[in-house]
Amino acid sequence: MNRVAILTSGSDAPGMNACIRAVVRGAIHHGIEVVGIRRGYGGLIRGDIFPMTSHSVSNIIQRGGTILKSAHCPEFMTVEGRQKAYEHLVSNNVDGLVVIGGNGTFEGALHFHDEFRFPIVGIPGTIDNDLFGTDYTIGYDTAVNTALKAIDRIRDTADSHERIFLIEVMGRDSGYIAVQSGIAGGAEMVMVPEVLLSASDLVDALKKGWNRSKSSSIIIVAEGETKGTAAALADQIREQVDCQIDMRVTTLGHIQRGGVPSAYDRTLASRLGLGALEGLLEERTNVMVGVINNQLVYTPLHEAVGRPKPIRNELLRMVTILSV
Amino acid sequence: MNRVAILTSGSDAPGMNACIRAVVRGAIHHGIEVVGIRRGYGGLIRGDIFPMTSHSVSNIIQRGGTILKSAHCPEFMTVEGRQKAYEHLVSNNVDGLVVIGGNGTFEGALHFHDEFRFPIVGIPGTIDNDLFGTDYTIGYDTAVNTALKAIDRIRDTADSHERIFLIEVMGRDSGYIAVQSGIAGGAEMVMVPEVLLSASDLVDALKKGWNRSKSSSIIIVAEGETKGTAAALADQIREQVDCQIDMRVTTLGHIQRGGVPSAYDRTLASRLGLGALEGLLEERTNVMVGVINNQLVYTPLHEAVGRPKPIRNELLRMVTILSV
Amino acid sequence: MNRVAILTSGSDAPGMNACIRAVVRGAIHHGIEVVGIRRGYGGLIRGDIFPMTSHSVSNIIQRGGTILKSAHCPEFMTVEGRQKAYEHLVSNNVDGLVVIGGNGTFEGALHFHDEFRFPIVGIPGTIDNDLFGTDYTIGYDTAVNTALKAIDRIRDTADSHERIFLIEVMGRDSGYIAVQSGIAGGAEMVMVPEVLLSASDLVDALKKGWNRSKSSSIIIVAEGETKGTAAALADQIREQVDCQIDMRVTTLGHIQRGGVPSAYDRTLASRLGLGALEGLLEERTNVMVGVINNQLVYTPLHEAVGRPKPIRNELLRMVTILSV
Amino acid sequence: MNRVAILTSGSDAPGMNACIRAVVRGAIHHGIEVVGIRRGYGGLIRGDIFPMTSHSVSNIIQRGGTILKSAHCPEFMTVEGRQKAYEHLVSNNVDGLVVIGGNGTFEGALHFHDEFRFPIVGIPGTIDNDLFGTDYTIGYDTAVNTALKAIDRIRDTADSHERIFLIEVMGRDSGYIAVQSGIAGGAEMVMVPEVLLSASDLVDALKKGWNRSKSSSIIIVAEGETKGTAAALADQIREQVDCQIDMRVTTLGHIQRGGVPSAYDRTLASRLGLGALEGLLEERTNVMVGVINNQLVYTPLHEAVGRPKPIRNELLRMVTILSV
C-alpha cells in the first residue's frame, strides 16, 4: 500500500476532524502517502482529490464539523456513480480508502467493495451511536454532553416555574442519546423508539410524581419516526390530564451535531483513525473498525450494515428508579 | 426602614439569584431584616413569606433560575389581589419591597404603588433587554452567550455541509438577542421586529453571497409576534429561489433562559440588587434601578413601563458590512 | 437490611452528588431507609448523621463537589476511631454502609470490615482513575475534559506566539489524566509516572518537531511525586537546548477537581450508586463496585486496595504517532 | 487611502481574530485593499506581508489567539527597526496601518508615527483592561469569564472540604480581572495592586467570616509585581493564624489568555475593527479607538499610552458588602 484516500460522508459528527488527523498522521508515520477527498462520495465521483500532509491536519483536533466537508450522495447508490469513483481512485494511484460516516456510508462502501474489490475500511462517525460492531461511535459522547448542557439549562427554568418540559433530542431510530442524556439529566421519563410507551404511561408517571409533591419534571423524547413527536405527545398529555398543567416543549435540533468534541470522542476518533489505517496495512478490507470492551475490533461491513444495536435494559430501568 | 421583602416575578433569567443574594446581604450589611416571598406576586397574595439570612443565599451566585421561584400572576392585576398582597406585607411588618422582573412585573408594581404608596423598587431581570431605563437587563448577556454557543455549534454543520441555517432566537418584541448574537456569530443577516425586512431582502442577500462563492450562511431571526416565524420564512425563501437549496431551520427555544450566569450578569445583578436596597434606604420609591453609561440610575416606574428601547442603527449596519 | 448510611471521603470528585442521589433513591425504591454522614469518616466518628429523603437529593445531579462534604480523616486509621464509628452506626440502627472515595477510603473500609464485619460497599470516586477493579472512576471523565478545555485555551496562545508550553496536570501516581488529555489535546509528548522519560527524551522530541518546522508544542506532565515537576523539567530543557526557546510552564491545579460532571460521570455514578445499594441487598460486602467492559463487577476490597492499574501501551504509542 | 495593513502585537487576547475580520471586511466594503503582517512588528521589519481577502477571515470570528500570530518585538523599539518597517510599508504601497495590542504596542506606534507621520490607528487588545481611552479592551470579558469558570470549579472543592482557597488571577499592574471575577465569583476578599492590603487585613476578614460560621472562603489575588504573590501571601497568613487552617493556593495562569471569545468581546472587537478602519478613512491618525459609554471614541496615542485607568471604588466596596 502506497497511497490511501480519506473522506467523510453523511451527517457530520464532532470528532471527525480528530479522526482525519489520525488517518493522515498514521499514514505519514508508516511512510504512506495520503490524499483527501472533498464532500464525501460526491467529491470522489467528481475527482475532487488533493494531497494531505502533516500540516493539513494541524490544529484541527478540537474542531467540530469536518474539514473535508460532507454530503449525502444519492449518485453513489448507482453503478455509474461508483464506476466514476473507482476510476478517480485508480487514476490518482490510490490503493486504499478510508470512509468515515454512518450506516448509509457503509452501505455505499459495501456495494463499492463488492463491485471493485477495492481495499476499504469504514469508521463509525455519527452522533446516534446506532451502529453495530462498536460500543461507541464518534460524536456520540459529545452529542450527549451537548444535550445534557441544554437539559441543565432548561431545568433551571423548569425548577423556577415548577413546570413540565418535554425535550426532544436526536435519534431517529435509536434512543441512545435520549437514554443517556435522560439518566444524566435526572429526567423523570425517557421515551425511545425501542420501547413502546404511550402518552398514558407518561401521564401515570407524572401523577405519581405529583403524589410525591414533585413540582417540576423533565421528560426526554427521542425524535422518532415522525416530525414533531414531542409536540404531538404534549397534546395527548394535555387531553388526558383533567387539571391545567404548565407544560412546554422544546426541540434541541441541530445544536447536537456540532461543537468542540469531548475528550472521549477525540481519543476514540484518534484510535479508530489509526486503527483503520493500520487495518488497511494489515490487508483488512471491507470492514468497519470499532471499539468493543475497549479493544479495537474489525467487523465485516455486511455484518455491520443495517443491524440494530439494542439499548441495555439496565439503563431504562435506571431512569425509572432514579426519578423516585 | 426595618424589614424589606424580595420576590422574583415573570420569566426567570440567569443572574436573578446573584441579585437576590445582593439584596439580602446588602440588607444585612445595613442592619435591616429581609424576608423572601415565594413564587412572585402570587406568593405575596397567599402570604408565602419567610425570613432570609446570609446563609440563605450562600453558594447561589452561580446558579441559573431563581431560588425564590417565579410565576406570572394574573390575580395581581386585580384590585382584590393587590389588596391581599398589601395586607400580607403589613402583617409581616415589611416596609419596603424589591421586585425583580420585566415589564409585566413593573406594571403590577406601578398599580400597587399607586394604590398603597408602598415603598417599592424594581430591578430589571429579563433576557430580552427590552426595558427602558437601563442599558442592560439581568440575564441578557448570558442569553446572548448561550445563543452564540448554539450558533457556533450549528456553524460547524453549516460549514461542513455548505448549508443555509435559519436560527430563531428569543425576543418577541425586541431584537437585542438577535442582533448581538448575529454580529458575534458572524451571521449573514439578522431579522428583527424593529426593522421591516421581507423574504425577498433575504433572498437578495443570499444571492449576493453565492456570487462571492459563499457556500454556507447563518441567518438569525428574532421570534417575532407569531410562532414559527423562521419556519414560515424558510418556506417563502424556498418559493423565491429557483434552484434547490439546502436550508434548515432550528429554534433555540428555552435553553436561552437558563444556565450559569456570565460574569457580566452576576456583576450587574449584584450592583442592581445592592442599588435597589440602598435606593429604598434613601427613600427612593416607585422606581426601577438600572445602569446607564455604567452609572446607577433610578427611573420612575411610570416612565420605564411599556416604553420601547430602540436598537442602535450602528449594530444593524455592522451585520451587513461584516458579512461581506 | 433496613437502613443504610452513605458518606463521601477523601478528595471530592465531580459526580459524587449524582452517586449519592442514586444510593438514596435506590434505597427508597427498595423500601429501605437511608441516612447521610457529613464530612466522611470524621463525621461518622462524631456521629454527624441525618436522615435523607428523595427531596434531599433533588436537583443535585449536575453539581460538582459533594453535598455530604468530605475530608481526609487520620483518626479513622486508629482502632479507637473506628470503634467510635461503629458505635454510632449501631446506635443509629444502620445495617449497611456505602463509602464513596479513593484508595485511602477503601483502606479504612477494609480495616473497619475486618474488625466489625460490618456490611460495607465501596464506590470508586476519584479523578485520578487509579483504582483497580474498575475501568473508570467517578470524576475522571470530567477531570480529563476540564484539563482538555484548559489545554485548548493554552494552545490558542502557543499557536499565536509559536511557543512551547509545559502543562502540569493532576495524577500523583497515575498518568491517566495526562495520557488521555494529551492524546485528545494533540500534545507532542506526555510525561507520566509509569514511564521513565528524561528531559533529554523531551529535547529530542522537540528537535524532531523543529526539523518538521513545527512552531508550537504542548507537553503534558503528570504532577508526579514531587511538587513543581513541570517547572523543574523546564529548567532542564533550557539547559540542554543551545538556542533560546520561548517556553512557559502552567500548572492546572485544583480546577481539575470541580465543575459540572460530564454525562459519562453522571451515568457511571448513577450505575455505581445503584449497584452499591443493590449489592448490599444481595449481601455482598467488603467489596468495591466497579464497571469492567461496561458490566457491573464487585471486587473484594483486599484485592482492589493499593493495586496499580497499568496504562495501556496503545495509548502511549498513539501520542508519539499522532504528533508526527 | 488605497491599501491598509493590519498586525497583532504583544500578548494575544480572545477576540483579536474577530477584530482582524472586521478590519478586513470593513476595508473590502469600502473598496480598499488590505494586507496582513505576520508576527507583529517583527514581521513588519522582516517584510512578512501578504494580501488578505474576505475568505482569509472566514470562520475565524469564534477562534481564540490570532491568525496573524503575535510577538513582542524589542527591535521595533530601535530607530533602525522602525526604519526597516517603514520601508516595507512603502514598498508594499500601504498607506494606513492598524495595530491591535496593548500599551507596549501603542508605545511603538507612537514612536513610529512621530518619526514617519504614517497614518496609524491602534485597537486595544489585551485581557488586562488596563488601557486608558476605552471602558473595555478586547479579551477582557472573555478572560474574566474564564477566571470565573475556574473559580466556580474551585468553589465546589472549597465548599466540600470547607477550605480556604487563594486564587491568583492575571493582571500585573491592574486589578480589573481580580475585582470583576471576585465579585462575580462571590469571593470573600480581593487583593489588587491599586489598593494596599496586607496579610493582616486578610486574616481579619477571614476571622470575621469564621465568627459568622463561614466554613469556606475564596480569596482572589491579582498577580502583582512579583511572581508567586499568592503563595507568599498564604505563608504570611499561616504565620498570623494560631489555629491550623486548611488553605490551598492555585494560580490560574495562561488559561486566561485563550479560548473562544465571548459575545461581548466579539461585538466589541467587530466595532473597534470597523471603527479603526473608518477612522483611517476619515484621516484620523495617531489615535487609539475605544468605546466609552458605549460610543466610539478616538484618543490620541500620546494621551492613552502609559496612563493608568483606576478601578471604581464602588466595585471594591461591593466585594466587602456582599461577602457578609
Q: Select the residue of A12, A154, A258 nearest B258 (Cβ to Cβ).
A: A154
- Asked whether residue D79 is assigned to any structural domain, the reply reads yes
Predicted confidence band at B215 (pLDDT cuts at 50, 70, 90)? confident
Contacting chains of A (3 CB pairs or more, <8 Å) are B, C
Model pLDDT for residues D251-295, shown as the tens digit of each residue: 999 999 999 999 999 999 999 999 999 999 999 999 999 999 999
Q: Which of C12, C48, C114, C128 is catalytic?
A: C128
Report the DSSP beta bridge partners of residue B8: B100
Confidence at residue A238, expressed as pLDDT on a 0 to 100 scale = 86
- Asked whether residue D288 is assigned to any structural domain, the reply reads yes
Confidence at residue C226, expressed as pLDDT on a 0 to 100 scale = 56
Q: Do B54 and D314 touch (CB under 8 A)?
A: no
Query: Do A53 and A68 share a domain, yes or no?
Result: yes
- Asked whether residue D312 is assigned to any structural domain, the reply reads no
D256/B73 Cα distance (integer angstroms): 44
Q: Do C62 and A152 touch (CB under 8 A)?
A: yes
Q: Give me the DSSP letters along A67-79.
A: TT-----GGGGSH
- Measured between CB atoms, does A211 come within 8 Å of chain C? no
Confidence at residue A226, expressed as pLDDT on a 0 to 100 scale = 56
| Nearest-neighbour CA in chain B from D151: distance (Å) | 10
A52 appears as a binding residue in the annotation: no
Confidence at residue C221, expressed as pLDDT on a 0 to 100 scale = 92
Predicted confidence band at B229 (pLDDT cuts at 50, 70, 90)? confident
Q: Select the residue of B12, B71, B157 nearest A257 (Cβ to Cβ).
A: B157
Query: Do A189 and A233 share a domain, yes or no?
Result: yes
What's the number of CA atoms in the CB half-sphere (13 Å) around residue A66? 32
Query: Do B12 and B133 share a domain, yes or no?
Result: yes
C316/C217 Cα distance (integer angstroms): 17
- Measured between CB atoms, does D268 come within 8 Å of chain B? no
C208/C324 Cα distance (integer angstroms): 9
- Asked whether residue A322 is assigned to any structural domain, the reply reads no
Residues 6+ apart with CB under 8 A from C227: none
Alpha helices for D282-312 (secondary structure H):
301-304
A188 appears as a binding residue in the annotation: yes
Contacting chains of B (3 CB pairs or more, <8 Å) are A, D
SS3 D315: helix
Q: What is the mean predicted confidence (pLDDT) over C195-214?
A: 80
Query: Do C52 and C186 share a domain, yes or no?
Result: no
Q: What is the mean predicted confidence (pLDDT) over A108-128?
A: 97
| Number of domains making up chain B | 2
Query: Do C56 and C199 share a domain, yes or no?
Result: no
- Asked whether residue C323 is assigned to any structural domain, the reply reads no
Model pLDDT for residues C265-322, shown as the tens digit of each residue: 999 999 999 999 999 999 999 999 999 999 999 999 999 998 988 888 888 899 889 9
| Nearest-neighbour CA in chain B from A249: distance (Å) | 9
> Residue C135: is its pLDDT beyond 80?
yes
SS3 A33: strand
Cβ A25 vs Cβ A277: under 8 Å: no
Average pLDDT for chain C:
93
> Residue C225: is its pLDDT beyond 60?
no
Higher pLDDT, B234 or B8: B8
Confidence at residue B213, expressed as pLDDT on a 0 to 100 scale = 73
- Measured between CB atoms, does C145 come within 8 Å of chain A? yes
Confidence at residue D228, expressed as pLDDT on a 0 to 100 scale = 62
Q: Which residue range is the domain that position A292 belongs to?
A: 3-139+261-304
Model pLDDT for residues D184-211, shown as the tens digit of each residue: 999 989 988 878 777 888 888 888 877 7
Q: Select the residue of A54, A185, A267 nearest C324 (Cβ to Cβ).
A: A54
**Scanning every residue of chain D, which has its alpha carbon at the shortest distance from the alpha carbon of B18?**
D184
Q: Select the residue of B26, B318, B321 nearest D321 (Cβ to Cβ).
A: B26
Alpha helices for A60-192 (secondary structure H):
79-91, 103-116, 140-161, 176-184
Number of residues that this document lists for chain B: 324
C288/C273 Cα distance (integer angstroms): 11
Nearest of C106, B252, C166 to residue A154 by alpha carbon:
B252
Catalytic residues of B: 128
- CA C22, C25, C27, C30 dihedral sign is negative
- Measured between CB atoms, does C322 come within 8 Å of chain A? yes
Q: Do C152 and A62 touch (CB under 8 A)?
A: yes
Nearest of D10, D6, D88 to residue D51 by alpha carbon:
D6
Confidence at residue D167, expressed as pLDDT on a 0 to 100 scale = 95
Element (H, E) at B21: helix B16-29
- Measured between CB atoms, does B227 come within 8 Å of chain A? no
Place of cell 461518622: C44
C191 appears as a binding residue in the annotation: no
Residues of chain C contacting residue D71, judged by C-beta atoms under 8 Å apart:
161-162
Q: Do C26 and A61 touch (CB under 8 A)?
A: no
Q: What is the mean predicted confidence (pLDDT) over B271-275?
A: 98
Model pLDDT for residues C247-257, shown as the tens digit of each residue: 899 999 999 99
C143/C265 Cα distance (integer angstroms): 10
Q: Do A181 and C322 touch (CB under 8 A)?
A: no
Residues of chain A contacting residue C321, judged by C-beta atoms under 8 Å apart:
25-26, 29, 274
Query: Do D201 and D77 share a domain, yes or no?
Result: no
Q: Do A263 and C152 touch (CB under 8 A)?
A: no
The dihedral over CA atoms of C268, C271, C276, C279, expressed in degrees to the nearest 10, equals -140
Q: Do A165 and B254 touch (CB under 8 A)?
A: yes
Confidence at residue C209, expressed as pLDDT on a 0 to 100 scale = 78
Alpha helices for A79-120 (secondary structure H):
79-91, 103-116
- Measured between CB atoms, does C271 come within 8 Å of chain A? yes
In the stretch 152-171 of chain C, residues with CB closer than 8 A to chain D read 152-157, 159-162, 165
A255 appears as a binding residue in the annotation: yes
D117 appears as a binding residue in the annotation: no
Q: Select the residue of C150, C155, C255 nearest D154 (Cβ to Cβ).
A: C255
Separation in Å, CA D173 to CA D128, D150, D196, D265 = 9, 22, 13, 22
Query: Do D13 and D79 share a domain, yes or no?
Result: yes
- Measured between CB atoms, does D259 come within 8 Å of chain B? no
C301/C107 Cα distance (integer angstroms): 8
Q: What is the mean predicted confidence (pLDDT) over C99-126?
A: 97
Q: Do A270 and C155 touch (CB under 8 A)?
A: no
D153/C146 Cα distance (integer angstroms): 10
Q: What is the mean predicted confidence (pLDDT) over C5-12?
A: 96
- Asked whether residue A321 is assigned to any structural domain, the reply reads no
Nearest of B14, B15, B38, B18 to residue B26 by alpha carbon:
B18
Residues 6+ apart with CB under 8 A from A288: A106, A121, A122, A123, A124, A131, A133, A134, A298, A299, A301, A304
Query: Do B109 and B170 share a domain, yes or no?
Result: no
* Joined grid coordinates for residue A276: 483503520
Q: What is the mean predicted confidence (pLDDT) over D212-220?
A: 83
Query: Do D180 and D292 share a domain, yes or no?
Result: no
SS3 C222: strand
Place of cell 414533531: A228
**Scanning every residue of chain C, which has its alpha carbon at the shortest distance from the alpha carbon of D13?**
C157
Q: What is the mean predicted confidence (pLDDT) over D102-121?
A: 96
Place of cell 491579582: D222
Query: Do B135 and B266 share a domain, yes or no?
Result: yes
| Nearest-neighbour CA in chain A from B160: distance (Å) | 4
Pairing of strands C287-292, C217-222: unpaired
Binding residue ranges of B: 21-25, 102-105, 126-128, 155, 163, 170-172, 186-188, 212, 214-216, 223, 248, 254-257
A257/A139 Cα distance (integer angstroms): 8
C193/C196 Cα distance (integer angstroms): 7
- Measured between CB atoms, does A213 come within 8 Å of chain B? no
Nearest of C62, C58, D318 to residue B21 by alpha carbon:
D318
- Asked whether residue A119 is assigned to any structural domain, the reply reads yes
Model pLDDT for residues C58-75, shown as the tens digit of each residue: 999 999 999 999 999 999
Q: What is the mean predicted confidence (pLDDT) over D232-247?
A: 83
Q: What is the mean predicted confidence (pLDDT) over D148-154?
A: 97
> Residue C90: is its pLDDT beyond 80?
yes
In the stretch 29-88 of chain A, residues with CB closer than 8 A to chain C read 29, 54, 59, 61-62
Best C20, C62, C154, C169 member to test A by mutation, with max A CBs in 10 Å, is C62
B301/B139 Cα distance (integer angstroms): 20
Query: Do C149 and C245 share a domain, yes or no?
Result: yes
> Residue D241: is its pLDDT beyond 70?
yes
Predicted confidence band at B232 (pLDDT cuts at 50, 70, 90)? confident
| Nearest-neighbour CA in chain C from D308: distance (Å) | 26
Residues of chain D contacting residue B270, judged by C-beta atoms under 8 Å apart:
183-184, 318, 322
**Scanning every residue of chain B, which has its alpha carbon at the shortest distance from the alpha carbon of A67?**
B160
What CATH number is associated with residue B273?
Answer: 3.40.50.450
Across the B/D interface, how many CB contacts are shorter than 8 Å?
114
Q: Do A160 and B248 touch (CB under 8 A)?
A: no
Q: What is the mean predicted confidence (pLDDT) over D105-109?
A: 97
- Asked whether residue D315 is assigned to any structural domain, the reply reads no
C146 appears as a binding residue in the annotation: no
Number of H helices, E strands in chain A: 11, 11
What CATH number is associated with residue B241?
Answer: 3.40.50.460
SS3 C153: helix
Residues of chain B contacting residue A157, judged by C-beta atoms under 8 Å apart:
11-12, 64-65, 254, 257-258
Query: Do B253 and B265 share a domain, yes or no?
Result: no
> Residue D212: is its pLDDT beyond 90?
no
Quote the crossing angle between the two packed helices C313-322 and A16-29, to the nearest 10°: 80
SS3 B291: strand
Average pLDDT for chain B:
93
Model pLDDT for residues A4-61, shown as the tens digit of each residue: 999 999 999 999 999 999 999 999 999 999 999 999 999 999 999 999 999 999 999 9
SS3 B25: helix
Report the DSSP beta bridge partners of residue C125: C138
Average pLDDT for chain A:
93
- Measured between CB atoms, does B228 come within 8 Å of chain A? no
Residues of chain A contacting residue C256, judged by C-beta atoms under 8 Å apart:
none
Predicted confidence band at B273 (pLDDT cuts at 50, 70, 90)? very high
Element (H, E) at B251: strand B247-251
Dihedral class, residue B10 (left if φ above 0, else alpha if ψ from -120 to 50, else beta) = left
Best C219, C255, C265 member to test D by mutation, with max D CBs in 10 Å, is C255
Q: Select the residue of B69, B154, B257 nearest A258 (Cβ to Cβ).
A: B154
